[in-house]
Structure 1
Amino acid sequence: MPETAAHLLSLDFPDDFTPGARSAVRTCLRIQPDEKITLITDRVTERIAASIARQLQDLGCRWNGFVLEDLAPRPLTDMPAAVLEDMETSDVSIFAVQVQQNELRSRMQMTDIVNRRHMRHAHMVNITAEIMCDGMRADYDKVDRLSQQVLERVRRARRIRATTAAGTDITSDMNPDYKWFKTSGIISSEKWGNLPGGECFTSPGEVNGTFVVDGVVGDWLCARYGLLAATPLAIHIEQNRIVRCSSSNQELERDFWAYTHTDENSDRVGEFAIGTNIGVHKVIGNILQDEKFPGIHIAFGNPYGEHTGAPWRSGTHIDVVGLGFNIWLQYATGETDQIMREGRFLISA
């Protein structure tokens, strides 16, 4: 057995991790005994990875494990070659890592292989013990049923309007040439997904209005600023671009503005998504789980064009999450369909 795999299997971990690890391996990824898996982790996350490794071992599949700090200094400039080479012969990959600033390039190198080879890939970025005992215990078959109902509706929508009591009021005109995807936690070769899962997303045609972030912001800013209920960030959007933003936390405002002005498309709305994980009942200050919280989240930067069909690109991607949404879909017929009121779906799972 390779040294890293043996190391992970030797680690103790809380019994509370086991249901979430089993859900990841057996329910979400549907891993089969005859498949090969690449498991990627880091020192901070290795006990969570150990719980996943135990499930892989019990299943009897072939797998290789990698701890990033054993291969390259952090933050990563590039994904280590050993990881990428192993992925070239795997059916499934699992990435359970605490990300560091400016590591997006290395993750994109990994997902480029996933996309090219149509691998099933679980993206467990910034996974924590809390998430293993919370969002990873959701009933993903139920989340999938709700997500499918949302998907069928939004694919027909020509316009989506969303409001919140905190001041969000945005309208998104949808581009019929861009594809919607469901990443409900049940991961297929069509599109890799985050775990915990639970969202339907696309790239919008054009978003206008104000989005008030009273939940969380993504990437490394999430760990720095946490929950934003006391210091919300108001983002004003015109023709899909940020025109200004404001917060009583001026450091947050400056960091967010700098992040979303890294390249020519960093300030452009690249993702428009509806969180569908009804097993998640509150935001916790971790974007991996919080973007699945029922409601709207959008992201500025990379539009995942290889999936959505959006023809532009960015080297950054940052999600923003709001709370307590009202959501209306408008169809080409002129019919309007409200699917959420004050944060609660009006669709049965």
Structure 2
Amino acid sequence: MSDRFVLDAVDPELMPGARNAIRDCLRVKPEERVTIITDEVTQEIAAALQAEIEQVGAEHAVFVLERYAPRPLTGMPQVILDDLATSQVSIFCAQTQRGELGSRIEMTAVVNKHRMRHGHMVNITRQIMLEGMRADFLEVDALSQRLVELARMTERVTCRTANGTDYVAELSPNLKWLKTSGIITRDKWGNLPGGEIFTSPFNSNGTFVVDGVVGDYLCQKYGDIQATPLTIEVENNRIRELRCENKELLEEFRAYTSTDENSNRVGEFAVGTNTACTQIIGNILQDEKIPGIHIAFGHPYAEHTGQNWISKTHIDCVGRNFDIWFDDRKVMEAGKFLI
């Protein structure tokens, strides 16, 4: 038996973002079925999503994770996986805890198998609902489409910042670029708020200064690291050296990227395209959508990019105020798009 929320107390401030999610991004139809996975901390946002689904008239089920398994999860509860398989649309709207990536991979395996339209609202907050989720996602999609068409013809992307990033990603026509602009299709589930294009680089080298945020559970712990940036030296797509004045962050990041043989390998190279996101807020879900570059070490989304290796970890690294060149064409200056 799934859960339900009492909707007479839904915060009206959350409804524009919920409406965007259900109607514009996921385009839920009355004849469809939706599965919402949430947790106790995020119930307020899940209730707003449920309210909008009920306005559409679609059948739905809601699962509050703590009612089905202790946290942190060691796996996604089978009752939830079974329910997912009966829906056309799903939403993960919950906070992460250390060690739970495997449970989310189990969930997205079902999503991929059944080609569901899935909105991934991991670590969603009220602030994000009032900012990034209020974007004009049709505009974000149009910008993302212009950029991804250009990226697919590009061999090298050069990224530089005033804080010391000087990094070059080499691209391969055998490794696909994907667009996750917030308009979610059966072909690829996406984060909400949306707004990025990404690939897995064939190779990359240089200095990448993380003066925004790092991902996974480290983001919740450290937030905006502008005051103590993490400098990553990359050689042949792997971490060669790490430097950071915050020694605790340095050692946690080093340990995370030493988990398996590919945890220190650049798996994702991405450009954020959500122009409603204007400043780092210390939450990776929104911060990786800020116009600029982020890279991730570990899992390269091989099932989508075509990369020929895997990892059981994935950690995003976001910088600030980039100059970006696609081959010789400058597409961004100081964090502002030029296309």
Cα distance in 1 between the residues matched to 2:233 and 2:66:
40
Equivalent AA in structure 1 for residue 312 of structure 2: G
Give the match for residue 69 of structure 2: 72
Cα distance in 1 between the residues matched to 2:18 and 2:319:
28
Give the match for residue 266 of structure 2: 269
2:248 pairs with 247, 251, 254, which one?
A: 251
Cα distance in 2 between the residues matched to 1:155 and 1:3:
43
2:37 pairs with 40, 43, 49, which one?
A: 40
Q: 1:13 Cα deviation (Å)?
A: 3.0
Q: Please give the secondary structure, in 1, of the residue aligned with 2:268.
A: strand
Q: Please give the secondary structure, in 2, of the residue aligned with 1:16.
A: helix
Cα contact 2:169–2:201 (8 A) shared by 1: yes
Q: 1:11 Cα deviation (Å)?
A: 6.3
Alignment of 1:293-308 (within 5 A): 293-308=290-305
Cα distance in 2 between the residues matched to 1:164 and 1:287:
20
Cα distance in 2 between the residues matched to 1:3 and 1:216:
35
1:196 pairs with 180, 188, 193, which one?
A: 193
Cα distance in 2 between the residues matched to 1:280 and 1:217:
17
Equivalent AA in structure 2 for residue 339 of structure 1: V
Post-superposition Cα deviations, 1:85-127, rounded to whole Å, max 9, x if no partner, equal 0011110000000010000000000001111111100000000
Alignment of 1:1-349 (within 5 A): 4-5=3-4, 8-10=5-7, 12-330=9-327, 336-347=328-339
Post-superposition Cα deviations, 1:58-107, rounded to whole Å, max 9, x if no partner, equal 11101011000000000000000011000111100000000100000000
Post-superposition Cα deviations, 1:115-143, rounded to whole Å, max 9, x if no partner, equal 11111000000000100111100110000
Equivalent AA in structure 2 for residue 242 of structure 1: I
Q: 1:9 Cα deviation (Å)?
A: 3.4
Equivalent AA in structure 1 for residue 3 of structure 2: T
Cα contact 1:11–1:50 (8 A) shared by 2: no
Cα distance in 1 between the residues matched to 2:33 and 2:220:
33
Q: 1:244 Cα deviation (Å)?
A: 1.1
Cα contact 2:2–2:63 (8 A) shared by 1: no
Report how many residues are paired: 339
Q: 1:311 Cα deviation (Å)?
A: 1.0
Q: 1:276 Cα deviation (Å)?
A: 0.3
| TM-score of the two chains, using structure 2 as the length reference | 0.99
Give ranges in structure 1 of 5+ residues lacking alignment: 331-335
Equivalent AA in structure 1 for residue 335 of structure 2: G
Q: Please give the secondary structure, in 2, of the residue aligned with 1:271.
A: strand
Equivalent AA in structure 2 for residue 341 of structure 1: E
Cα contact 2:200–2:305 (8 A) shared by 1: yes
Cα distance in 2 between the residues matched to 1:271 and 1:118:
22
| TM-score of the two chains, using structure 1 as the length reference | 0.96
Equivalent AA in structure 2 for residue 44 of structure 1: V
Report the RMSD for the aligned CA atoms in angstroms. 0.8
Cα distance in 2 between the residues matched to 1:14 and 1:112:
33
Cα distance in 1 between the residues matched to 2:192 and 2:8:
22
Equivalent AA in structure 1 for residue 81 of structure 2: L
Cα contact 2:26–2:119 (8 A) shared by 1: yes
Equivalent AA in structure 2 for residue 4 of structure 1: D
Cα distance in 2 between the residues matched to 1:168 and 1:184:
25
Equivalent AA in structure 2 for residue 79 of structure 1: M
Cα distance in 2 between the residues matched to 1:88 and 1:314:
25
Cα distance in 1 between the residues matched to 2:190 and 2:214:
19
Cα contact 1:294–1:343 (8 A) shared by 2: yes
Cα distance in 1 between the residues matched to 2:333 and 2:151:
16
Equivalent AA in structure 2 for residue 283 of structure 1: I
Q: Please give the secondary structure, in 1, of the residue aligned with 2:183.
A: coil
